[in-house]
Chain A
Amino acid sequence: MRLSRRRLNGLTEHGFSILITLFGLLILTFVIGRIMPTDPVRAMVGEDASREVYEHVYQQLGLDKPMWQQFLLYLRDVVTLDFGTSIRTGQPVLQDIARALPATIELATFAIIIGAGLGTPMGVIAAVNKDKWQDQVIRVLSLMGHSMPIFWTGMIALLIFYANLGWVGGSGRMSQFYIGLVPERTNFLLIDSILAGQWDVFWSALNHLILPAALLGYSSSAYITRMTRSFMLDQINQEYVTTARVKGLSRRQTIWRHAFGNIRVQLVTIVALAYGSLLEGAVLIETVFAFPGFGQYLTSNLLIGDMNAVMTCVLIVGVIFIGLNILSDILYRVFDPRTR
């Protein structure tokens, strides 16, 4: 939010600064990729490979070239949207991500619907009832959500709701035996299964989604609640809210029509950022739930030193975040008359 206000100095400067940020991002990802101590070549050729095999692959990957050349090559590749091949999957990284990301987006979207749907009204209620019991309860609830180690809660929830109660599906995106039955069109399983008319897969997918999404949603609702509350408090003390009351509007009307209207843009920004940081929660929760999404793709590649994949993942996260920031800037421009 602060970001945006600062960036209202004109579109060109704006675009320029984004370019610079992107460039910095590229340097950062390149550096991260190159100093990783794990040996990608060894991961490819295996433990017992002979030296000839090793060096053959080493050269294939271009690792024998000087750093700056490698960086220029990297830049060229990025510009041409060629992110190389993943060592671990042997597929173009972009193709891998095109498969992994939809799973995470599905998860994150569900989570954000839960999170925003819960967090926004709770934040408003807390603000309106500042310092009353409602506020205290919501405060503790949301701070709990903010404080819980999500991987731990995930494990415990899995144990309770899947292993003991059997209410929800276990790990993965769907029950194991449905895997590979749905033709992949969008890679969004829910959509694909509907397109294919396979309702049992759809339900299975939904069943597997609900628990991790609820957990992620709770933790992001914590953030959204806190922010909504403080935005709302700022607004409630503004004179124009008094004006609205003087006009004879009821409290409800003043809050929703006037105060809430003024936090809408900030709220969208916050939700956008929360959506972005669900990627973070996804890293852990996907590990716990063996959910084949972006987070798991990233961590498993990290561990074996799959340079291309890691660099691209990090780059994509960065780009997503920058994109979300731009989006919230644009929203500011569009929705706030003062910045037009």
Chain B
Amino acid sequence: MTQETSAALPRRTMPQGLIAARNIVVFLTRSPTSLFGLVVLGLLLILALFAPLIATHDPYMQDLQNTLHPPSSDYLFGTDELGRDIFSRLVHGSRITLTIIFLVTIVVGPLGLIFGTVAGYFGGKVDTVLMRITDIFLSFPSLILSLAFVAALGPSLNNAIIAIALTAWPPIARLARAETMTFRQADYISAARLQGASPARIIWRSIVPMCLPSVLIRLTLNMATVILTAAGLGFLGLGAQPPLPEWGAMIATGRRYMIDSWWLVTFPGLAILSVSLAFNLLGDGLRDALDPKQMNRR
């Protein structure tokens, strides 16, 4: 062998995926804003996991003698119009938020990825048909489309999730398609075809891994929108139904008492704001960490 690489390369023992994940986390913790995002989401996760332990009261337990109690040591964030402890409701509400995020992600991610990569890889008629469908969905702002869907399905948390998922996949599909289009002509795809790989294999093995980072970033950023949409639906009375402690719905009901009892809307609002901000910051940080341009650099 006559050639040498310029830099000495460390021996690899861990699988590439793990190393990458670790690197990304390390990268994220280096920027204060992404760190904030990570911490808030970690907190959300802990709250949701240990909700019954953290909550000081039963979130559904009414105490009509103790309604609209301002924040105090008994009721950290005060009580609502039915005497329920707002702190505990917020804590339990994090489960709803996480459920929404989780369900939407596992529907939207794969769906968008499959639609997008298939359309992008095959092009032609397949592309036209699939993209027409996404176009139709994309020709609405997501909240209005979800509104229409929820109205059609009847208001409930599940329907809100379905509606949000239905409106959230087209942008992902679009993104995956655009990415696929840039890779489709790449020589390594041609090489795979020359080795006899079937289209499904090419999409799965070669294209999906390439689209994944940007789809992940987009999904993370989308989560902020999903949370806001869900809260908006809850606010309009079309999302989670009482007595579920969904944050948007809490604001909607708390709104009737807002002037005198500020704590009813302030805390759920802050909760929504910080989680959605956390997702945005994290997505932004991820974009820097996983920058597709950097990754494809020679």
Chain A contacts to B: CB under 8 angstroms: 2, 6, 17, 20-21, 24-25, 28-29, 31-33, 35-38, 136, 139-140, 143-144, 146-153, 155-156, 159, 163, 276-277, 279-280, 283-284, 287, 298-299, 302-303, 305, 310, 314, 317-318, 321-322, 325
Task: Decide yes or no whether B135 CB sits under 8 A from chain A.
Answer: yes
The answer on a CB contact under 8 Å between A21 and B136 is yes
Could you list some 10 contacts between A and B, CB below 8 A? Answer: A21-B135, A32-B149, A32-B151, A152-B268, A279-B144, A284-B232, A302-B151, A314-B140, A318-B140, A325-B139
The answer on a CB contact under 8 Å between B151 and A317 is no
Given the known interface contacts A24-B133, A146-B224, A147-B273, the answer about A314 and B144 at a Cβ–Cβ threshold of 8 Å is yes
Q: Which of B259-292 contact A (CB under 8 A)?
A: 259, 265-266, 268-269, 272-273, 276-277, 279-281, 284
Chain B: which residue is nearest A158 at the CB level? B258
Given the known interface contacts A159-B258, A298-B147, the answer about A280 and B141 at a Cβ–Cβ threshold of 8 Å is yes
The answer on a CB contact under 8 Å between A143 and B280 is yes
Bound CA–CA A241/B237 (angstroms): 52
Of the candidates A36, A144, A153, A321, the one whose C-beta lies within 8 Å of that of B140 is: A321
The answer on a CB contact under 8 Å between A152 and B141 is no
Per-residue contact bits, chain B 130-168, to A (CB 8 Å; 1 contact, 0 not): 011101101111111101110111100000000000000
Chain B contacts to A: CB under 8 angstroms: 33, 128, 131-133, 135-136, 138-145, 147-149, 151-154, 174, 178, 224, 228, 231-232, 235-238, 248, 251, 255, 258-259, 265-266, 268-269, 272-273, 276-277, 279-281, 284
Cβ–Cβ < 8 Å partners of A280 in chain B: 141-144
Given the known interface contacts A149-B248, A279-B141, the answer about A302 and B153 at a Cβ–Cβ threshold of 8 Å is no
The answer on a CB contact under 8 Å between A144 and B149 is no
Inter-chain contact count A-B, CB under 8 Å? 138
Bound CA–CA A305/B153 (angstroms): 12
Cβ–Cβ < 8 Å partners of A317 in chain B: 139-141, 144
Given the known interface contacts A149-B251, A317-B140, A318-B139, the answer about A302 and B147 at a Cβ–Cβ threshold of 8 Å is yes
Given the known interface contacts A143-B284, A155-B258, the answer about A17 and B152 at a Cβ–Cβ threshold of 8 Å is no
Cβ–Cβ < 8 Å partners of A153 in chain B: 269
Cβ–Cβ < 8 Å partners of B266 in chain A: 156
Cβ–Cβ < 8 Å partners of B138 in chain A: 321
**In the assembled complex, how far is the CB of residue B125 from the closest CB belonging to chain A, in whole angstroms?**
13
Of the candidates A35, A276, A314, the one whose C-beta lies within 8 Å of that of B153 is: A35
Bound CA–CA A310/B144 (angstroms): 11
Which has the most chain B C-beta neighbours within 10 Å: A143, A148, A284? A143
Chain A: which residue is nearest B149 at the CB level? A32
Which has the most chain B C-beta neighbours within 10 Å: A33, A38, A299? A299
Instruction: For the A-B complex with A280-B144, A310-B148 known, give 19 more contacts whose Cβ atoms are closer than 8 Å.
Output: A24-B136, A29-B148, A33-B152, A35-B152, A144-B277, A146-B276, A149-B272, A149-B276, A152-B269, A153-B269, A159-B258, A159-B259, A276-B141, A283-B143, A287-B236, A302-B151, A302-B238, A321-B140, A321-B141
Bound CA–CA A147/B223 (angstroms): 10
Bound CA–CA A149/B152 (angstroms): 24
**In the assembled complex, how far is the CB of residue A320 from the closest CB belonging to chain B, in whole angstroms?**
9
Of the candidates B131, B135, B151, B235, the one whose C-beta lies within 8 Å of that of A284 is: B235
**In the assembled complex, how far is the CB of residue A59 from the closest CB belonging to chain B, in whole angstroms?**
23
Cβ–Cβ < 8 Å partners of B33 in chain A: 136, 139-140, 143
Bound CA–CA A241/B105 (angstroms): 40
The answer on a CB contact under 8 Å between A17 and B139 is no
